[in-house]
Amino acid sequence: MSATRSFAIYNKKTGELLRRKAYDLCNEDFLNYLKDKIKREEVIVYCCCSNRIEMKVSKRPHLYPANHKTSHSENCIRNPKYKGTNDYEKAWKFDEQKGEYVVRVENIVPFSKIKDARESMIEGEEKRNKIYIEREGSKKRGEATIFGLATRLNMMAWERIVLGKKKKLPENVFELARHVYSVSNKVRLSNKKKPLSDMFHKQLNIRDVNVEKDVFFVYMYYNDKKQGYNDQLFNGTVKDIVHCHNAFEKENGFYVDINEFNGKLASEPHSDMYVIAGFVYKAFKYDKKLTLGNYCLIPVSKAGLFVESSYEKEVYDALYVQDRRFYKPYLPTIVEYEDFVPDFIIEEENKKPTIGEIFGIKNDEEYEKRRSEKLSLSRKNDFRNLYDFWKWDVNKGEKLILPN
């Protein structure tokens, strides 16, 4: 049974279906518009799941059930027990009463506070670029990795700008980082009571930070122009430092295991620009800086969007230079494209959205099968009536020509 990820809007007087919309593609402006329509009794909204629950819009705003007599069906993403079919949703759930995304995140506290810390570090290294981890022999839900959390925040922030009220591309990487902070205001870690935004690193006096107790979240751009720096503490210990810039272009330095850092850097060769994202803490009493504990490096385009390959970076940079309003989806929200997630979607005024695919892997049977299925779907009438399709097969040497 396929997952339900959308709701339907009906004319309240005639019962006519006006439109369907994915839950995860609703910005605040649209929800406020919808709330006004509901208040004037012009429309009525139902979840598209089999239980057809009526939905209302709260003040914050977010969609929530009009009553609690019936639950969403088990295949609905709004059901608290929904396990997810996509890596970017398997460790996430949505709290309809609070309007928050709740995410299980692996090991957010310093390693010294975790039982079997060394095993955790080894597992983290082996699965560095995984989006979530399903614990073997455990009944727990999957846990999001730091990589999975940070990359989804990145794509959510980009989407918020592109599909928002101003309908534009980010001006630069720093505007995108500020929107990452805004998005995190509606994301809560499962073991925290307050949103993730409350954990964001601020300019603070290191003396006021409690050793191994205060943990902060960072999302900053790696400064590769400043390398080879270190601090020597009073006891002779030498600690390597990496430098980065925050959303307001202020520089910050953090202690790091330089071998581990270089290993992470080498594992993501898709770009010359990186985001450092994860958790920092004060490891020892006399430290002059915070230490990067559980963190990841995200390769990004020139405008800051997460890229999974050098081919994606080439396309994203070209779209950005041409001022094409596009975003990188992270969930399969297009019904006509079934459970596939495109590499990008172009949204422009008075044009059909363009679904974009970059085919770059070869000699992989499963990949070739999915490629054929995507191409078949793109040729169906119900797809072509709503969307344009663009593909670039890098292995065939086809010239990169972006859709008009």
The per-residue pLDDT for range 314-358, each reduced to its tens digit, is 999 999 999 999 999 999 999 899 999 999 999 999 999 999 999
Q: To the nearest 10°, the Cα dihedral for 302, 260, 126, 84?
A: -50
Query: What are 285's two structure tokens?
Result: 């009493």
The DSSP 8-state label assigned to residue 157 in this structure reads H
The reported pLDDT for the residue numbered 133 is: 83
The DSSP 8-state label assigned to residue 71 in this structure reads P
Q: Which amino acid is at 246?
A: N
Q: In this structure, are residues 204 and 270 in contact, taking their beta carbons and an 8 Å threshold?
A: no
H-only helix segments in 236-364: 258-266, 310-321
Distance CA 276, CA 217 (A): 10
Residue 127, pLDDT > 80, answer: no
The reported pLDDT for the residue numbered 380 is: 97
Question: Which has more pLDDT, 209 or 142?
Answer: 209
SS3 of residue 400 by DSSP: coil
The reported pLDDT for the residue numbered 399 is: 86
For residue 107, what pLDDT band results from cuts at 50, 70 and 90? Answer: low
The DSSP 8-state label assigned to residue 365 in this structure reads H
Q: What is the mean pLDDT of the chain?
A: 90
Distance CA 375, CA 278 (A): 37
Query: What are 360's two structure tokens?
Result: 């770059």
Query: What are 325's two structure tokens?
Result: 């309003």
**How crowded is residue 8: how many other Cβ atoms within 10 Å of its Cβ?**
16
CA 320 to chain centre: 19
What is the end-to-end Cα distance of the chain in Å, rounded?
A: 37
Distance CA 151, CA 183 (A): 12
Helices (H) and strands (E) in the chain, counts: 8, 20
**Judging by DSSP bridges, how do beta strands 187-189 and 100-103 pair with one another?**
parallel
Q: Bridge-partner residues for 4, per DSSP?
A: 76
Angle between helices 146-162 and 173-183 (to 10 degrees): 110
Question: Which residues in 306-317 are b (16+ Cβ under 10 Å) and which e?
Answer: bbbbebbbbbbb
Out of 62-71, 152-161, 296-305, 380-389, pick the least confident. 62-71
Distance CA 175, CA 167 (A): 14
Q: Which amino acid is at 134?
A: E
The reported pLDDT for the residue numbered 140 is: 58
For residue 363, what pLDDT band results from cuts at 50, 70 and 90? Answer: confident
For residue 366, what pLDDT band results from cuts at 50, 70 and 90? Answer: very high
The reported pLDDT for the residue numbered 361 is: 85
H-only helix segments in 17-145: 28-39, 117-126
Question: Which residues in 57-72 are b (16+ Cβ under 10 Å) and which e?
Answer: beeebbbbbeeeeeeb
Q: Which amino acid is at 348?
A: E
Q: Map out the domains of the chain with their CATH numbers.
A: 6-73 (no CATH), 312-396 (3.40.1350)
Burial of 13 (0-12, 13-18, 19+ CB in 10 A): exposed
Distance CA 247, CA 55 (A): 36
Backbone angles phi, psi at 341, to 5 degrees: -115, 115
Distance CA 130, CA 119 (A): 17
Task: Report, as an integer, the average pLDDT of 22-51.
Answer: 95
Distance CA 293, CA 121 (A): 10
For residue 243, what pLDDT band results from cuts at 50, 70 and 90? Answer: very high
Distance CA 133, CA 32 (A): 36
Tens of pLDDT, residue by residue over 140-165, are: 568 899 999 999 999 999 999 999 98
Long-range contacts, stretch 27-33, CB < 8 angstroms, 24+ apart: 27/160, 27/163, 27/164, 27/165, 28/61, 29/164, 29/165, 31/57, 31/61, 31/62, 31/63, 32/57, 32/61
Stated as kind and residue range, the H or E segment containing 265 is helix 258-266
**Judging by DSSP bridges, how do beta strands 388-393 and 354-359 pair with one another?**
parallel
Question: Which has more pLDDT, 127 or 31?
Answer: 31
